[in-house]
Amino acid sequence: LVRLRARLARSQSTFGRSLLNLLSRDVLTDDDWDEIEDTLITADVGVTPAAQIVADLRTQVKVLGTRDLVEVRSMLKDELVKQIDTGMDRTLRTDGGGRPAVLMVVGVNGTGKTTTCGKLGRVLVGDGRTVVLGAADTFRAAAADQLETWGSRVGASVVRGQEGTDPASVAFDAVARGIADSADTVIVDTAGRLHTKTGLMDELGKVKRVIEKQAPVDEVLLVLDATTGQNGLRQARVFAEAVAVTGIVLTKLDGTAKGGIVIAVQRELGVPVKLVGLGEGPDDLAPFETDAFVDAILG
Ligand code: GDP
């Protein structure tokens, strides 16, 4: 948690500070409110939530008549928390109750899927669990190599196929291995080629169906690169239409002031952000924590 705060603070707090500066002006004109709204939109909060936040803040400022920075900060914090905490359950389901829990990791290439699989393996192995990583991105040999490196780094076994093997058969084999070895968790890395929407839907749907011949899929985690803004969000939507996503992993939050995307993506997809990526190293994955996140933003 401390790490989350420290890591985020560096990149995010410029956004929070400029908002606080604006809000603590003696008199707030319409132009100021527009600027506040623009600042929120620039941080990828999304147009509708930004308008809502500004409307709520305007009302509160009128009622409280305060310019005190501490009060303004707590007002803004409440607004952001309200937009982020909409009652969605952020618990990551990693307990299969006697059989391996199965997690599918999906998303566009380059967003950080393979890295997330590795980091997640690290967290679970650190918790004393046995983990199997399945390299179901069979289109890129490099992706399977990368996952293998992660496997030996974090102490998880890796199941891969020949390049060009049916991704679903690798996913099947990974789960079969998990069951045979009585592993606690199987994490399946998938391909993220956005070739055609139907191609993607067919492929991810098939991977999921084939896994489910042996064990239910407990989580479908959609990986989204926080630095890609609205474009990334559009692509995420395509994945969410292809397969029932249960949680979002927001990566590369360490290098961007666009943390507002948390609000936009949850709103767009109706799915909670469960994990955040804060760097390229094995320990740079953290559960999403609203309070710590908003505190980091506001500096
Ligand atoms: P994939 O194609 O979706 O599997 O993406 P990769 O896992 O190969 O990641 C793409 C690049 O993003 C790699 O260079 C990773 O090290 C980097 N990356 C992944 N997650 C993070 C993160 O949270 N922060 C930063 N700064 N880089 C990340």
Expressed in angstroms and rounded, the spacing between residue 56 Cα and the centre of ligand 1 is 37
How many whole angstroms separate alpha carbon 227 and alpha carbon 250? Answer: 9
Spatial distance between the Cα atoms of 109 and 93, rounded to a whole number of angstroms: 24
260 is in an annotated binding site: no
Ligand 1 center from residue 280 Cα (angstroms): 6
Average pLDDT over residues 202-217: 94
91 is in an annotated binding site: no
The per-residue pLDDT for range 267-289, each reduced to its tens digit, is: 999 999 999 999 999 999 999 99
Tell me the mean pLDDT in the region 194-203: 74
Is 107 assigned a ligand-binding role in the annotation?
yes
For ligand 1, whether the C-beta of 114 sits within 6 Å is yes
Distance (Å, whole) CA 155 – CA 163? 24
Nearest of 274, 264, 159, 169 to residue 223 by alpha carbon: 274
119 known member of a binding site:
no
| pLDDT the model gives residue 2 | 56
Residue 171 Cα to ligand 1 midpoint, Å, equals 22
Q: Is 192 or 299 the better-scoring residue by pLDDT?
A: 192
Question: For residues 192 and 137, is the Cβ–Cβ distance under 8 A?
Answer: yes
Nearest CA to ligand 1 atom 19: 112
Which of these, 140, 142, 197, 134, lies nearest to 164 by C-alpha position? 140
- Cβ(281) – ligand 1 distance below 6 Å: no
pLDDT digits (tens, 9 = 90+) for 159-197: 999 888 899 999 999 999 999 999 999 999 998 876 666
Name the band, by pLDDT with cuts 50, 70 and 90, for residue 27: confident
Contact 232 CB / ligand 1 (< 6 Å) = no
Mean pLDDT of all residues in the chain?
90
CA of 204 to the centre of ligand 1 (A): 21
Which tokens in the block code for residue 96?
Answer: 């299969």
**What are 125-164's pLDDT values in tens digits?**
999 999 999 999 988 889 999 999 999 999 999 999 988 8
Closest listed residue to residue 260, CA positions, set 10, 52, 12, 60: 12
Residue 50 annotated as binding site: no
Q: Output the residue whose Cα is nearest ligand 1's atom 9.
A: 112
Q: How far apart are CA 254 and CA 40, in angstroms?
A: 18
Judged by average pLDDT, the poorest of 11-25, 45-59, 76-90 is: 11-25
CA of 275 to the centre of ligand 1 (A): 14
